[in-house]
Chain A
Amino acid sequence: MSTIPIALLETKLHLPTLRQGHVARLRLGQRLDVETLPALTLISAPPGFGKTSLLAEWLAGSATDRTVAWVSLDPGDNDPVSFWTYVISALGRAEPGVGDRSLALLGESPGVDFRTLLTLLLNDLASAVRDVVLVLDDYHVIEATELQEGVAFLVGSLPPQLRTVIASRSDPPFPLARLRGRGELLELRAADLRFTRQEADEYLSGMLRVQVRPAHVDALEQRTEGWIAALQLAALSMQRVDDVGAFVEGFAGDDRYILDYLVEEVLDHQSADVRGFLLRTSILSRLTGPLCDAVAGGSRGTAHLEALDRANLFVVPLDDRRRWYRYHHLFGDVLQARLVEELPELVPELHRRASEWFEQNGEPGDAVRHALGGGDPERAADLIESTIPAMRQSRREATLRRWLDALPDDVFPDRPALAVAAAGSRLGVGETSLVEERLGQAARSLASPATSAAHPGLSGWVAIYRSASAQLRGDLVATVQHADEALRLIAADDGAARGAVQSLRGIADWSRGDLDAAYAAFSAGMDSLGQAGFVTDVVGGTVVLADIRIAQGRPSDARTLYEQALLRGTAGGAELRGIADMHVGLAALDIEADDLAGAQVHLRQSDELGEHKGFPQNPYRSRVVRARLAELRGDPAVALALVDEASEVFTSDFSPNVRPIPALRARMVLRLGRLDEAARWADGRMLGADDELGYLSEYEHLTLARILVAQARRSPAGPALRQAVALLSRLLQAAESGSRGGSVVEALALLALASRLQNDSRSAFRSLDRALTLAEPQGHVRLFLDEGRPMEGLIRSAASRADAPRFAGALLTAFAQAWPADEAHADVLTDRELGVLRLLATDLSGPDIARQLVVSLNTVRTHSKNIYSKLGVGDRRAAVRRAGELGLLRSPRP
């Protein structure tokens, strides 16, 4: 078994033992046929209906190949790390090897996506040797939506090797009707579980060791309605009374809540000592001798527990050695209700004693719970503060956040470290409320030199979180300001803090479009993190650095970054998380350099590594790259489907979303010739050629410029051409002033095409020359190939000049090679149309052409119309010019 994120409480994975006097539930056992279990078996009934006992009997008795993974849940398992650690560990014990990778993933990365986690787990299970039944007992304590979704996902994707059983006091929020409809749900509910008259008879007679009179059984069965907990208490009392008839009569004729009546009967028969013990220890969710002694006083805790166990009174053993017990939940609650009524002043003191015992025994979680339960927030605050590093280490941020949220406001002003942790835990889930307040409390406290000296480095964290909070609010100026303040406050050797703040600053600069500053800051942040040993974070950060390099128009530097990170992430045979992202990044670069085979190899390597070797953004990033590859391979349907999938799995991180997927999709449909669809996207985004420009919308505006150029080509007389040239000129200027080389070269290439449409060859060549000169060292071939025949024609014309850039020749070769792929899905001229086109280039009139081809004038007109439409032009002159650009007039094809 690999590293387990948290210390496991063994008792929670222990299959309960059968109680003495247990009635075999054969009629229910028959329905739970282990060979034909559906995906989910739901045992849903109020407390005291024998859910756990039924499962224990069934699992102990069924001779089967299925092994059992049992988890008894408690409210603390609403923390995803805790919940999944128990579930996966239970499965791993049932079937060794299952879940090792998921546990490791849970331990190493915060906020891991549960689908990734469960997909890994399901893969393990699908190849498991033995079949497993996973039992989640007391599932009603789970309230976290994230976990409900996770379990519903698990139940919905089970391999046949795994079946789940859930016991709960209320129905879980899964799509039960759907499961029922598909026959994937087996339910046992209160009506099924309650004792029949025959079972009641059997049970009572067994407990009392004499045959109970039928009239008494009838009366008890009617009064309790087969509620097992009540029958059990009744049997306990009947064991002691001389006149069973009088007891039954008294009970049946009373209309008090039956548990009140019965518990009182049972408690009345206990010694004052035992009664006091039961009430005082009822606050504990699990019991062991020394703990009970500490809470209830005295030294007979172990003896009491053993006696209760023997007498079958209220307690359930939690392990085979009978060291730990718990009260049956129902009775524990009834006892606790009595405690708060009879000894209210004692309750806080009992919790305090429990809290101290757990603290001394190294279980801070329970210590905190009892401090909060006993209404002692000061103690809880101190305990939480001392356990923050351990909780962070084990990634139990959710539990920490719940504790911190439970503390009242007035514990924070004197505890700056706690206030800072509270701010951090809220920011960690993207929550900005209360953050400023907590940071303000911390800052006021740290203003005292003594406090500040006692908390070295804490002022720096206040500034870091202020910066992060400003970033979440979208306030870039404050982000940078607080980041700079933090850098002054953080010690030079605090790599984690420095790394965090430098990266924050880098992201803010990137969002503002200041790429040089962004690269410098983020890269310094990665160096700091690397020195502090956070290698995985450094590998993950490469994606950001490479994206900035690409935006700077330096894809070859981006390639070097990815390659170095790949080496780092696989050094010494390791496979760090994030290396899948590196392969996807390299695939994207390969495509831009027109190396489709190389891209294919990297995508395959990323696939083979699996989703768990990627960061949460990798699923959408890899789909975007795959879509591009499918498009270039001539499969537009697949390409568009992949882009849509990418939209669905998109998750943002702190990085600005500088290449939004919908814009990317608009470019793709535009390349497929679906101009109207692309234009609808621009309308929907309310983009206009006169918009104010900003870096965050630069990609969208460049996309709009492409749409305008295409519109100008279709209808040369419209306003699109003028708008395109104006927009591109402004985009070019903005990109140049921000040193955004990627946008500069793109704007130049588009501007060249637009100038060409204006018949302004001088401007077109000037822009093209600049674009070619900038693109050559980066091997940026795809940018030009994507523009298709108009770009080829333009480059061909430009290349005929003596002083044309060298890159033009290389591109023309690339066009020639790309041609067949293009023709596969582009509108291609038929041989007949090519013939007509060549005659259109002469000064022959229409009737002359018809005569020469020996066809009617109408036929020539039809051909001409088709030619214009295929070339995207409106008249004969334009068609001839375009044909020249495309090299269609040179010689007949073989």
Chain B
Amino acid sequence: MSRSDPAAFPENGGRYEIRLRGHLDDRWSAWFEGHRLTRQDDGTTTLDCSVPDQAALHGLLHRVRDVGLPLISVTPIAAEGVLQVPGAGR
């Protein structure tokens, strides 16, 4: 793991992309603590989240679970301005 890979230092949180099956209305943004929703052409919705730590990420995943949304992936995204890591992010 490279130093700038957020997953290597999960206690510090970071940016994650949560990908869900189905198109979610924008109204869900408030439910997911204001994180931005993007509906993708492949019928999925991505949730772009900055979380302070792992506990907050797990909190969001609980919310995904609790409304029965099918979870496809959780991907760490290298923060801008930090060293870009090949393969990190998408």
Contact = CB atoms under 8 A, between A and B. Distances in A.
B66 A260 contact: no
B67 A341 contact: no
Given A255-B43, A257-B22, A257-B45, A341 B66 contact: no
Contact of B25 (A140, A256, A336): A256
Q: Which 10 A-B pairs have the closest CB atoms?
A: A337-B31, A257-B22, A341-B27, A340-B30, A341-B30, A256-B23, A46-B68, A255-B43, A257-B24, A47-B68
Contacts of A329: 66
Contact of A260 (B24, B29, B63): B24
Interface size class of A (residues with CB under 8 A): 20 to 34
Question: Which of B24, B43, B63 gathers the greatest number of chain A CB atoms within 10 Å?
Answer: B24
A478 interface: no
A340 B23 CA distance: 19
Question: Which of A48, A169, A257, A338 gathers the greatest number of chain B CB atoms within 10 Å?
Answer: A257
Nearest to B25: A260
Contact of A48 (B25, B26, B68): B68
A330 interface: yes
Given A257-B20, A260-B25, 5 more contacts: A169-B66, A257-B24, A260-B22, A260-B23, A337-B27
Interface in B20-76: 20, 22-31, 43, 45, 63, 65-69
Nearest to A169: B65
11 contacts: A46-B65, A46-B68, A47-B68, A256-B22, A256-B23, A257-B23, A259-B67, A330-B68, A333-B67, A337-B27, A337-B28
Nearest to B27: A341
A229 interface: yes
B89 to A, nearest CB: 25
A374 to B, nearest CB: 15
Question: Which of A46, A48, A259, A329 gathers the greatest number of chain B CB atoms within 10 Å?
Answer: A46
Interface of B: 20, 22-31, 43, 45, 63, 65-69
Contact of A170 (B25, B28, B65): B65
Interface in A324-346: 329-330, 333-334, 336-338, 340-342, 344
A333 B30 contact: no
Contacts, number: 61
Nearest to A264: B25
Interface string A301-340: 0000000000000000000000000000110011011101
A47 B63 CA distance: 11
A227 interface: yes
Contacts of B30: 337, 340-341, 344
Nearest to A331: B67
A341 B26 CA distance: 9
A258 interface: yes
Contacts of B66: 47, 169, 329-330, 333
A47 B68 CA distance: 6
Given A337-B28, A340-B31, A341-B30, A47 B67 contact: yes
Interface string A47-75: 11000000000000000000000000000
Contacts of B20: 257
Interface string A241-257: 00000000000000111
Nearest to A334: B67
Nearest to A49: B68
B63 to A, nearest CB: 8
Nearest to B70: A46
Nearest to A45: B68
Contacts of A170: 65
Nearest to B20: A257
A336 B65 contact: no
Interface in A591-612: none
Contacts of A229: 68
B51 to A, nearest CB: 18
Given A255-B43, A257-B22, A338 B27 contact: yes
B43 A227 contact: no
A140 B68 CA distance: 14
Contacts of A341: 26-31
A341 B37 CA distance: 14
